[in-house]
Structure 1
Amino acid sequence: MTPPPPLDDDAPPLGEPLVDAELETDPPPPPTPVPVPGGRLLVGAALVLVAFNLRTVFSSLSSVLPDIARDLGLDGLFVGLATTLPVLCLGLFAPFAPRLAMRFGAERVVLVVLFLIAAGAALRALPLPAALLGGSMLAGAAIACGNVLLPGLVKRDFPDRAALMTGLYTMALCGGAAAAAGLTVPIERATGSWSLALAAWALPAAAVLPLWLPLRPPAGAAGRHARPAVRGLLADPLAWQVTLFMGLQSALAYSVFGWLAPILRDRGVDPLTAGVVVSVSVAFQTASCLVAPAIAVRGRDQRVIDVVLVAFAVAGLVGCLFAPLPAMWVFAAVQGIGQGGLIAVAMTLIVLRSPDPHVAAQLSSMAQTVGYVLASGGPLLVGLVHGRTGGFAATVWIYLGIGAVAAAAGWGAGRARLVRVRAEV
């Protein structure tokens, strides 16, 4: 059998961030100028703190979702939309991030992202269905841009510490999700209001604003740049397998963020413990997403690890649905190991399947845009099935179906091949 073609020398190194909104510019933008003492340390701390805020909106909502549905008299469809539409915004608004970054500068856009996350979370202080949905969607749209811009800033400003900063960025991302899952219920009990508990997650985003403000580039520093054209990506089967794998693993991830706590509460687990279980699952995601890429790149291809990680993620969810309650901690850990590995390996596949950095940037944009739109269907289906059946047992077929298709896509995307496109200047 003919061996697969090697990656070009221009391919981005493994372990570095894989999404760079300004990677397609020529020449590349300079590092962030910081007119304050200890500037590089400030940039690093600010990037990590921004990352902390990119998942809190999702996991905080799931912790108190049963209370919200009860107090507002929401039906299953609305509850499903509350967990789905913010995820859908991740896909719909991601394509705007590179254009905004090239026009205004990534630092200015991230500043607006922080403001909108804080505003969206604060809007949920109003105990109204429209405020709940609107605030979550506003924050989701902002987070979509943050998802795309931050890893590129990490790679641009810390080229000599990319692996370290990527690890810190990822840990902060998962740490924010874990904190929101575990602390929202205690805040609800302390304030006596789930709406105030949700709005409390505006504070971490607002606190980073003064830290990020000095990082704005000088006036006129941003501008339009030439972008190489990537031809044929949408017609390439391998690109679609990578995209499908990204989207389906995200569907599992946001089903955990949106529904794991309600699933456990439906089984009789008290709200505080349910939130802590989700935090444990996300904590294991942090460890797994740091280890899985190193394992993935050691083999000739990634087919086996893709399927194994899908099996872990689905088995953990099934165990949380049906296993004896004392075992929920074990299954939450299993789910976290599988889910964290899936997220990291899905991003790694974008680099491994791309012949050069420009193709990697375009494939990443395709995978995130289409993938997150696809991912939004997972939480929606869970909400619809729960509303129709009055329980979560039947949702096991959703998880098994998503897992089966994700495993098939992962087996295809894991083959040691390159997408058959090139960047044309």
Structure 2
Amino acid sequence: MLRRDRAIRPLPPVWVMAVALVAVAANLRVAITSVPPLLDAIGSDLGLSHAAAGALTTLPVLCMGLFAPVASRIAHRTGASAAVLAAVVSILGGTLSRFAGDSRVVLYGGTFACGVGIAVAGTLLPRLVKTYFPPERTGLVTGLYMLAMMGGASASYALAVPLADRFGSWQASLGSWSVVAVVGLVAWAPFTVRANPHHTPDEEGPGRLPWRHRTAWLVAGYLALQSWCFYSAVTWLAPTYVEHGWSRASAGYLAAAFSGAQIVSGLLGPVLSDREADMRRLLLPAAALGVAGCVGIWLAPMTAPWLWAVVTGLGQGAAFSLALVLLVRCAQTPEASGRLTGMGFLVSYGVASIGPLAMGLVRDVTGGLSLVWAILALVGVAQGVAVVRLRPDLPRVD
């Protein structure tokens, strides 16, 4: 029960809340995307196989699945905004530990801490969007959330190698992204003080995940296929072109173009969704773009590498941002959105965490990354098939 004698603090203006949310969202990919451009250096220094190196992106994705359901329980005890603050602290600690990444235990331990923080914050932010922002602005705020998340990813892709060269080690490059976590912490802490439990109906409890709800399973299935493609592409795009003779810096810039394209489609998709009742009209083109890009990298990687990277990024950015809209739109209340998000992330990230590791195994077995993109194209086709079943008249999770 809430304490009735606790003073209710007024919420900040909407734009202030949006800025705080954006500052946190900027941390939700950096710990993952700063690694791939440096994978060859990390693997060489620590003696890692491609599969073990892929685990540096698999581990946080697995955490995002396993800890997503826990996020609602934490929010019930502390308040959702306070739980997000704790998540940013976890990301900060995990990122700082990477300065000592020459130890395998420290490197994987810090990656685990980042994954837990990303899981909790990523699960609760869609719920807070539904709680604090008007329905007609859900798409716009989600787009800003995507803009920050993919902007951070794009910057970390592009700057990972230059930072390693500037600071003299990949450990310092990875650890330097703790600055982004500090900004998120400073921006979110005042909002946490203002957004006390009187503004978040956590007294109802986290509730059970909607395991028996058909709509929840359809959304989770779509998320699983999309996330498999996304995190596998995030991990192996830069190494693919390093294998083709590109420098690590050039491959990092290509991966930044991939992520930069996601900024455009990640912002545009949710904004368009505010005017679209049938999400399939946006989800199907997104899936088609992702498949087209993967086929291009598979069959003609050197013909138009920048085009393939941008097309793949446009598809993946739109597909993921629209999935975030689904997590809000397919639920009747903020609490239901939290439970749907918890289940969706548990299923999808649990499945998707296998992706980078499995694709690394394919590389170890075949001696190259070409087949990886053929597999990702097939998964993208399955994603399109799943989209067809996401009809606008599906019952919402309650």
Same fold, judged at TM 0.5 (above):
yes
Deviation of 1:245 (Å): 0.7
Preserved contact between residue 304 and residue 411 of structure 1 (Cα < 8 Å): no
Within the alignment, does 1:142 sit opposite 2:127 as a pair?
no
Query: Could you say which residue in structure 1 is the equivalent of 2:311?
Result: 334
> What SS is found at the alignment partner of 2:117?
helix
Q: What are the superposed Cα offsets for residues 311-359 of structure 1, whole Å, 9 maximum, x if unpaired?
A: 2112212323442535111111111111111112223334554566654
Equivalent position amino acid for 1:372 in 2: Y
**2:323 counterpart residue number:** 346
Please give the alpha-carbon distance, in whole angstroms, between the structure 1 residues aligned to 2:137 and 2:388: 32
1:50 aligns with 2:27: no
1:240 has 2:214 as partner: no
Instruction: Quickly say closer, same or farther: Cα 1:385–1:134, change in 2 above 3 A.
Output: same
Pick which of 214-223 and 355-364 moved more. Answer: 214-223
Select the residue among 356, 368, 373 that pairs with 2:350.
373
Contact 1:250-1:371 at 8 Å conserved across structures: yes
CA contact (8 A) 1:353 1:417 kept: no
Partner in structure 2 of residue 183 of structure 1: 159
Contact in 2 for aligned 1:178/1:282 (Cα 8 Å): yes
Q: Which amino acid aligns with 1:209?
A: L
* 1:391 correspondence with 2:365: no
Cα gap change, 1:112 to 1:259, in 2 (>3 Å): same
1:166 maps to 142
Contact between 1:230 and 1:358, CA under 8 Å: does it hold in 2?
Answer: no
Distance of 1:358 and 1:149 partners within structure 2: 10
Q: Deviations over 1:181-214 (max 9, x none)?
A: 1111100011120111111111221233334333
- Give the 3-state SS of the residue equivalent to 1:325 in structure 2: coil
Residue from 195, 200, 203 that aligns with 1:225? 203
Q: Distance in 2 between matches of 1:65 and 1:342?
A: 26
How far the C-alpha of 1:155 sits from its partner, in A, is 4.1
CA contact (8 A) 2:140 2:271 kept: no
Equivalent residues of 2:287, 2:319 under 8 A apart:
yes
Q: How far is the alpha carbon of 1:365 from its aligned partner?
A: 2.5
C-alpha distance in 1, partners of 2:358/2:214? 27
Contact 2:290 2:377 in 1 (8 A): no
1:276 is displaced (CA, Å) by 1.3
Q: 1:76 to 1:59 in 2, by over 3 A?
A: same
User: Is 1:86 paired with 2:64?
Assistant: no
Q: 1:33 to 1:383 in 2, by over 3 A?
A: farther
TM superposition shift of 1:291: 2.5
Seen in structure 2, the aligned counterparts of structure 1 residues 188 and 152 have a Cα distance that, compared at 3 Å, is same
Conserved? CA contact 1:33–1:215, under 8 Å? no
Structure whose residues are more often helix by fraction: 2
Q: Which moved more, 1:301-310 or 1:393-402?
A: 301-310
Unaligned runs of at least 5 residues, structure 1: 1-24
Measured in 1, the distance between the counterparts of 2:330 and 2:56 equals 35
Report whether the alignment pairs 1:131 with 2:106.
Answer: yes
TM-score relative to the length of structure 1: 0.82
- Tell me the CA shift for residue 422 of structure 1: 6.2
In 2, Cα distance between equivalents of 1:181 and 1:32: 40
Contact residue 230 and residue 359 of structure 1 kept, 8 A: no
**Residues 241-390 of structure 1 aligned to structure 2 (within 5 Å):** 241-293=218-270, 295=272, 301-303=278-280, 305-325=282-302, 327-354=304-331, 359-390=336-367
Shift of 1:287: 1.4
SS in 2 for 1:290: helix
Identity value in percent: 36
The structure-2 alpha-carbon separation of the partners of 1:406 and 1:263, relative to structure 1 and needing over 3 Å to count, comes to: same
Tell me the SS of whatever aligns to 1:319: helix
In 2: Cα distance, 1:219 partner to 1:227 partner: 18
Q: Distance in 2 between matches of 1:313 and 1:44?
A: 29
CA-to-partner distance for each residue in 1:160-192, whole Å, 9 max, x for gaps?
Answer: 855543332221111011111111110001112
**TM-score scaled to structure 2, two decimals?**
0.87
RMSD between aligned residues: 3.1
Matching residue of 2:172: 196
Partners of 2:222 and 2:393 lie apart in 1 by 15
CA change 1:322–1:130 in 2 (3 A) is farther
* 1:307 positional shift: 3.5
Alpha-carbon distance in 2 for matches of 1:179, 1:239: 33
Change (3 A) 1:49 1:294: closer
The amino acid of 1:99's aligned partner reads: R
In the TM superposition, residue 77 of structure 1 has moved relative to its aligned partner by 2.9
Change (3 A) 1:353 1:143: closer
The answer as to whether partners of 1:238 and 1:412 remain within 8 angstroms in 2 is no
**Residues of 2 paired with 1:301 and 1:101: CA distance?**
32
Distance 1:266 1:76, change over 3 A: same
Q: Is the contact made by 1:353 and 1:416 (CA closer than 8 Å) also made in structure 2?
A: no
Distance 1:210-1:324 versus aligned 2 partners, 3 A rule: closer
Deviates more, 1:336-345 or 1:206-215: 206-215
Q: 1:340-397 deviations in whole A, cap 9, x for unaligned?
A: 1111222333455456665444333221221111111211211111122221012134
Structure 2 residue identity aligned to 1:278: A
Match of 1:152 among 114, 127, 141: 127
CA distance in 2, matches of 1:47, 1:71: 37
Query: Is residue 81–residue 195 contact of structure 2 (8 Å, CA) maintained in 1?
Result: no
**Unpaired segments ≥5 residues, structure 2:** none
Contact 2:96–2:175 (CA under 8 A) maintained in structure 1: yes
Q: Which residue is 1:411 aligned to?
A: 388
Return closer, same or farther for 1:299/1:101 CA change in 2, 3 Å cut-off: closer
